[in-house]
């Protein structure tokens, strides 16, 4: 491999002729050269610009070569620079001591130009190969960690999805009994009350015991309240049924093949699940959801995963809107209420659906916007953000569905995510 490596080489020697000889030889060979006339100067110079290699004289006034070497090795910034000692031919002790201090090689004085060049070249090559390798390992490690995180996250979600789907399924039977029996129960009650009316009409005088009991239980009140009570129970049951339905739709466990799915159902169920964060509570103002759904029938997709995308984006929008409320007064919020607008439409060529999710939250700076799809990028407090939401969302949209996801944001005004999805899976 004949690559010419022109790194910066720092030569440290107190004798000017030595510096001249070596620097000329190295310059002629195409290397960039810097010089220092003492150990102290070398240490300062290294701080200003890191060389790729240091040729270091052993015997110098002030701190000698060994001491200089030790200090370079003790500093994490300079410890990896390869050091070659320049020693006298016969000085075996110095050579050994140099190696022990971490030098990679030595060259002997008087200098043999070809030998100096050969040693410099091979050690620089090793240095660059090493750096390259380290960089590759770092990149691979980062990629591996990212992949691992994603797998863990997926695994968790899929376990959670299974759990939720299971619970929703288990609830649906008992809820079914309740829902199915409430109306007949109400009918029976009406019958019984009617019957009671009749009895009261027919027998003008009850025995004192019965009259007492009627007063004690406040029959008039029961008669009035019982049907209302049953009606409110029936509403409660209906709500449980809706939630359980939503959970089932939301937590759909995807097969490996795309299926047809109405994305509006997905968005609606996600909103239903996030409802507790949208309602006003205490001093927290309400967040309005404004839907503008286009005329779109089902698309071919992985519903469970798309629901996750809607969840991640809507949860972020809620976070952003809540954050903006910290800076807004009550009247400001009243005039310009918290809003998340969701609009869907067909593309011109009718091949794609376009989903806009727009909030009037804090918005983002350019520097944030350019990183939001990065793995582990978050501006949220520890424990609040994971920095995975949008990384996963973009992976699902782009890689899994062949769609696109874009963001538009103005700091202080809000953010809009625009997703396109092909109607037919590839
Ligand atoms: N609607 C939004 N408005 C403002 N900033 C947002 C919005 N959505 C995402 N962001 C920014 O993108 C970052 C990454 O989002 P995400 O990947 O979901 O991770 P997390 O929500 O855990 O921080 C957030 O920390 C936030 O800074
Ligand atoms: Mg998020």
- DSSP tag of 52: S
Distance from the CA of 389 to the center of ligand 1, in angstroms?
8
3-state secondary structure of 221: helix
Q: Which atom of ligand 1 is nearest to the CA of 387?
A: 19
Check residue 304 and give its pLDDT: 86
| Contact by Cβ (8 Å): 294, 344 | yes
3-state secondary structure of 336: coil
| Contact by Cβ (8 Å): 179, 237 | yes
> Does ligand 1 come within 6 angstroms of the Cβ of 361?
yes
Check residue 6 and give its pLDDT: 65
Distance from the CA of 315 to the center of ligand 2, in angstroms?
6
Closest C-alpha to 167, from 268, 250, 255: 250
Please compute, for residue 237, the number of CA atoms within 13 A of its CA located in the half-sphere on the CB side: 18
Distance from the CA of 372 to the center of ligand 1, in angstroms?
6
Q: How far apart are CA 22 and CA 33, in angstroms?
A: 9
- pLDDT < 70 positions in the chain: 1-6, 426
Q: How far apart are CA 285 and CA 334, in angstroms?
A: 9
Q: Which atom of ligand 1 is nearest to the CA of 379?
A: 25
Check residue 405 and give its pLDDT: 98
Is the pTM value of this prediction over 0.75?
Answer: no
Check residue 2 and give its pLDDT: 40
3-state secondary structure of 382: strand
Helices (H) and strands (E) in the chain, counts: 13, 12
């Amino acid at each position: 491999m004949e690559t010419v490596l022109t790194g910066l080489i720092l030569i440290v020697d107190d004798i000017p002729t030595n510096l001249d000889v070596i620097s000329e030889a190295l310059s002629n060979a195409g290397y960039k050269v810097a010089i220092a006339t003492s150990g102290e100067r070398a240490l300062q110079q290294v701080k200003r610009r890191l060389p790729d290699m240091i040729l270091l004289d052993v015997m110098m006034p002030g701190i000698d070569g060994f001491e200089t070497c030790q200090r370079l090795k003790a500093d994490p910034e300079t410890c990896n620079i390869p050091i070659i000692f320049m020693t006298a031919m016969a000085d075996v002790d110095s050579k050994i001591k140099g190696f022990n201090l971490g030098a990679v090689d030595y060259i002997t004085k008087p200098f043999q130009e070809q030998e100096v060049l050969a040693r410099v070249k091979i050690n620089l090559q090793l240095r660059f190969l090493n750096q390259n390798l380290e960089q590759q390992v770092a990149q691979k490690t980062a990629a591996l960690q990212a992949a691992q995180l994603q797998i863990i996250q997926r695994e968790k979600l899929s376990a959670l999805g299974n759990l939720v789907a299971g619970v929703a399924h288990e609830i649906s039977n008992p809820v079914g009994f309740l829902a199915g029996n409430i109306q007949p129960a109400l009918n029976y009650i009406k019958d019984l009350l009617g019957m009671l009316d009749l009895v009261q009409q027919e027998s003008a005088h009850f025995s004192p015991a019965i009259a007492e009991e009627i007063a004690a239980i406040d029959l008039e009140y029961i008669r009035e309240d019982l049907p209302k009570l049953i009606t409110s129970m029936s509403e409660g049951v209906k709500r449980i049924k809706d939630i359980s339905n939503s959970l089932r739709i939301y937590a759909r466990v995807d097969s490996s093949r795309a299926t047809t799915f109405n994305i509006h159902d997905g968005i609606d169920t996600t909103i239903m699940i996030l409802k507790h964060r949208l309602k006003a509570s205490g001093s927290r103002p309400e967040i309005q959801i404004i839907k503008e759904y286009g005329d779109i029938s089902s698309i071919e997709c992985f519903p469970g995963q798309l629901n996750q995308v809607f969840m991640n984006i809507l949860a972020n929008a809620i976070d952003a809107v809540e954050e903006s409320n910290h800076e807004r007064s009550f009247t400001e919020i009243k005039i310009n209420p918290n809003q998340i607008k969701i609009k869907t439409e067909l593309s011109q060529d009718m091949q794609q659906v376009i989903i806009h999710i727009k909030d009037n939250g804090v918005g983002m700076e350019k520097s944030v916007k350019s990183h939001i799809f990065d793995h582990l990028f978050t501006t949220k407090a520890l424990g609040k953000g994971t920095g995975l939401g949008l990384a996963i969302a973009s992976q699902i949209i782009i890689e899994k569905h062949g769609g696109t996801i874009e963001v538009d944001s103005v700091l202080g005004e809000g953010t809009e995510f625009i997703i396109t999805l092909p109607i037919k899976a590839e």
